[in-house]
Amino acid sequence: MLLDELISFLKSKESILFNGLVALLTVGGQQLFSFFAFSCPCHHTENLNYGLAFLGVPALILLIVGFVFNENTWRLFTGSSHSFNIQERSRQITLIKYKLICFVLGGIIGRALVAPVTWLAVTLLNGSYYACAVSEYANVDRYDFFRNMTVDARRHVLARFPCPQLLPVNLTLVREEVLLELKYQSQVAGWLLIAAVAVTVFISLCLARCCTPLSYLHLWYWTSYIKNEQILFEQAADQHSKIYAMHNIKRFFGFSPGSKNVTDIRIPSRWDWKAVSGLDLLHMVNTEHCNYSLLQEWAEDDPTEGKFIHIDEAPSTDETAAPS
């Protein structure tokens, strides 16, 4: 009983658990990535590009991956145009339709943003990427060492601060103070990002609930129905496709996989093999139907029966059993 309740609770929090898992994996990946891959070039013309690339490019990739691996993305954009009857094209129904589309789109964007925002927040809290990117722009006017330097010479020296082995010993204290200040700026930016995201998520959830045309229980029921319908649809589609594929395979070979007491088999001709070989592409037969594979297209062309040969039935267990 307790196990069933626990499973039911976990299913009800599936979205939160998934987002949390994505965030944890992103944090772990960022730490490994920073340890094995990040190495600041410590050059005044390369630090900024290198640091921003390590900040932004992985976040962009994670954002794209979040969109690609979300089923609802393809549901929204694949065959999304539906024809409505004239009497159904009322302003109210159209408004409800677009409200629901916005609701689904908001969920897609929200889930896709989990990983990139986590990456940005963790890297800013770490401070290494930010310090590498902006070290040459640090404010060092209060230090006597830099007062008589030109801007270019100062940037040359500051760009080396992330690499202590490239600096003279007399700049060790200055370097530590500057890097601490940069790390402070980076961590403040990270916490501000987290706060901004939290507030945005809260406001977005409130607006989504206010703008939805459904009541609270109706919205919960709709979400539950869509989830269950998808599970049952996939099971039915899998069984349907197996039966359909078995029908076409039986026409090609003369028997179905798993058949018992097979007495006749069909010998495909060279033309048959050529017809079913190659790249399977969806072929539109007409506006209503299509062929899903070359084998189905071959079967739909109503091929001749072809050559069959008779085979002996496998002997039964009783006949082959040794006498006692």
Residue 157 to residue 152: CA distance in whole angstroms = 9
Which pLDDT does position 73 carry in this prediction? 83
Backbone φ and ψ for 290, nearest 5 degrees, come out as -150, 160
Backbone angles phi, psi at 249, to 5 degrees: -65, -35
Which of helix, strand or coil describes residue 215?
coil
Beta strands in the chain (DSSP E): 264-267, 283-284, 290-291, 307-310
* Region of 252 on the Ramachandran plot (φ > 0 left; ψ -120 to 50 alpha; else beta): alpha
What is the model's pLDDT at position 187?
94
pLDDT tens for the chain, 324 residues long, are 455 555 555 455 556 666 677 777 777 776 776 666 678 888 888 888 888 888 888 889 889 988 888 888 887 777 555 544 444 456 666 666 677 777 778 888 888 888 889 899 988 998 888 998 898 888 888 888 888 888 888 888 888 888 888 888 888 888 899 999 999 999 999 999 999 999 998 998 888 788 777 788 988 898 889 889 988 999 999 999 999 999 999 989 988 888 888 888 889 888 889 888 887 777 777 777 888 888 888 888 867 677 888 887 554 444 444 443
Query: pTM of the predicted model, to two decimals?
Result: 0.66
Q: H helices of 69-162, where? A: 71-77, 91-126, 128-134, 151-158
User: Residues, the chain, total?
Assistant: 324
